[in-house]
Amino acid sequence: MRLLTGLAIVLAGLFYVAWPAWSAYQLKLALESGDVAGVERGIDFPAVRESLRPAVMAGIEQNLKEATKGTPGSDLIIEKVSKDTLPKLVEASLDTLLTPQSLIRLHAEGKSLREFINTMKTGTPDLAGQVGDFVRDLFGTKTDPNPMPAGVGVSATATPIVPQNRRLGFGNIKSVGLDGPLGVSIGLSRDPKATAADLTATLSFEGTGWRVTRLIPRI
């Protein structure tokens, strides 16, 4: 009985600790070396897209409020954008972020998902530009809102290699725990000196291995 119990503990440790840790390490190496195929293997992009949608929507809504602050009829602008355009902005932002190349570049530049969301720019026209269009349409006037900071991960330049001082290590891990019967969650912080995680990543066992299936940034 002790032998069977010991064996079960060892197997559980291999399955829930060693295997996901190795998968996470392989994904880390892929991000740091610019290995697009490795990033694709390590991330379930459709699942991660769904997990990020609420945070991206909240970030764009907040940016929208700031972009229209002090504008006459700002409530009407926000209502119209939320109804007609917000879903498109969210999808465009997710399209920009959720590619292996964008995630590699985001990591190489030392940016977090929270920073990406807080400095959202979804292409042409950007959020502020679209707000200006709505103001013209609704009130017959033209505004000149301050342009929002450019997003990261959108350049078509060659994939960068992450410098040593931006590579993740044990100090960036703030929490580890189970997430259901086939999931492991890892709390990460870009700053190793931080006391709380700014991103929670969930790895799930899918068929033949562990992959990232959820990313929840702290907004």
Does residue 48 sit within a domain?
yes
**Which amino acid does the sequence have at 50?**
E
Does residue 88 sit within a domain?
yes
- Structural domain of 62: 2-166
**What gap in Å lies between CA 60 and CA 102, rounded to an integer?**
19
Partner residues linked to 88 by β-bridges? none
CA dihedral sign of residues 63, 67, 70, 74: negative
Considering only residues 201 and 58, tell me which one the structure prediction assigns the higher pLDDT. Answer: 201
Per-residue pLDDT band for 40 (boundaries 50, 70, 90) equals very high
Does residue 62 sit within a domain?
yes
- Taking a C-beta distance cutoff of 8 angstroms, is the pair 97, 116 a contact? yes
Q: Among 93-102, 118-127, 203-212, name the one with the lowest average pLDDT.
A: 118-127
Does residue 89 sit within a domain?
yes
pLDDT attached to residue 77: 66
The Cβ of residue 1 has, within 10 Å, a number of other Cβ atoms equal to: 5
Question: 95 — phi, psi (to 5°)?
Answer: -60, -40
Per-residue pLDDT band for 137 (boundaries 50, 70, 90) equals very low
pLDDT attached to residue 25: 95
- Taking a C-beta distance cutoff of 8 angstroms, is the pair 103, 160 a contact? no
The H-assigned helical ranges of the chain are: 2-13, 19-33, 36-42, 45-67, 74-84, 86-97, 100-108, 113-118, 127-139
What's the mean pLDDT when you consider all of the chain? 78
Q: Given a cut of 70, is residue 142 above it in pLDDT? A: no
Q: Among 13-22, 100-109, 183-192, name the one with the lowest average pLDDT.
A: 100-109
Q: Given a cut of 90, is residue 219 above it in pLDDT? A: no
Does residue 179 sit within a domain?
no
Residues in the chain: 219
Residues 52-105 have pLDDT tens digits of 999 888 887 777 777 667 666 667 766 766 666 778 888 888 888 899 998 998
Residue with tokens 């990543």: 201
Q: Given a cut of 90, is residue 147 above it in pLDDT? A: no
pLDDT attached to residue 91: 87
User: In 3D, which of 10, 20, 21, 131 has the Cα closest to residue 77?
Assistant: 131
Q: Given a cut of 60, is residue 175 above it in pLDDT? A: yes
pLDDT attached to residue 114: 79
Q: Given a cut of 70, is residue 141 above it in pLDDT? A: no
With vertex at residue 151, the alpha carbon angle to CA 122 and CA 142, rounded to the nearest 5 degrees, is 55
Report the domain count for the chain.
1
Does residue 126 sit within a domain?
yes
pLDDT attached to residue 88: 81
Does residue 171 sit within a domain?
no
- Taking a C-beta distance cutoff of 8 angstroms, is the pair 31, 109 a contact? no
